[in-house]
Structure formats: structure tokens, C-alpha cells
Amino acid sequence: MVELKFEQKAVKDVEREFEKVQIDEKMKGFLDMMLPMLEPHLPVSGMAIKGFTWRIIKKWQHENHKSITDIRSFSPEDKFKVLKYLFVEGENTYKKLVKSKEEKEHIEKIFKDSFNTFIKHYQQQS
């Protein structure tokens, strides 16, 4: 088993940043939905996971000029694209916080498995 050792300064910075963020209930619900898929596998706080996820969502919203909370009205194909984007960006974000090849490969596996779990859950809900 690979032990993930994240760059602590980046983790603390995102925690402090996210503590100050005012989010609406829809966004809170979206962040809360992502947390259980990642928290058991990543040795950082839930606050840090939400903070990194929030940054990724902000980036997507800026690039697409849409709110992530509008995802419910997207076509299934567009929902899939958005969710894939979030997981790929998440993987890339966390890979930047570790040094070793083994850690990076472990993060790839975590995000691949989490994405597949999320898609299965989503399909059952549809």
C-alpha cells in the first residue's frame, strides 16, 4: 500500500481559503456529494477535499460560463463530460501535491475507481 504524503502547505492554504468561502445550498450539496467518494482514500481533511473540489468547480464554471448547479438540466452526455472533467482535474490537482511516481500512480487509481463508483451510483439514480 502506497502512503500518500501531500504537500502540507498547499493543503493548509486550501483549508484556510475554503473556510472563508460563502457557498449556497446547491453548491454545498454538490461538494457534500463528492466527499464520501474521496475522503476514505485521501489523507487530508474533508475541508481540504471540499476546498480543492471547489477550486476545480470554479475553474470549470469560469471556462464554461455556467454554474455547476445547472448540471441537472444537462443532457446525459454533457453531465458525463462535466463529471469526467472534475475527476480528471481532481486527479491532476492531487498529483501535483506528491513527489513519487508511486504516489502519482496511486492517485490515478483512486480517481479512476472513484469515478467508476460515481458513474455506477449515478446510473442507479437515473
With respect to residue 117, please indicate whether it lies within any of the assigned structural domains: yes
Cell (9 digits) for 25: 445550498
Q: With respect to residue 108, please indicate whether it lies within any of the assigned structural domains.
A: yes
CA distance 43 to 45: 7
What string of pLDDT tens digits covers the 126 residues of the chain?
899 999 999 999 999 999 999 998 888 888 888 898 899 999 999 999 999 999 999 999 999 999 988 988 999 899 899 999 999 999 999 999 999 999 999 999 999 999 998 888 777 765
Query: What is the reported pLDDT for 1?
Result: 80
Of 41, 25, 24, nearest in space to 87 by CA? 41
Do the Cβ atoms of 57 and 70 come closer than 8 Å?
A: no
Q: Collect all residues with Cβ–Cβ distance below 8 Å to 53 and sequence separation of at least 6.
A: 31, 34, 86, 90
Per-residue pLDDT at 118: 84
The pLDDT score that the predictor gives to residue 69 is 86
Q: How many structural domains compose the chain?
A: 1
Asked whether residue 43 is domain-assigned, the answer is no
30 occurs within a structural domain: no
Q: Does residue 58 lie in a domain region?
A: no
Residue 121 lies in a domain: yes
Rg of the chain (C-alpha set) = 14
Q: Which domain holds residue 106?
A: 75-126
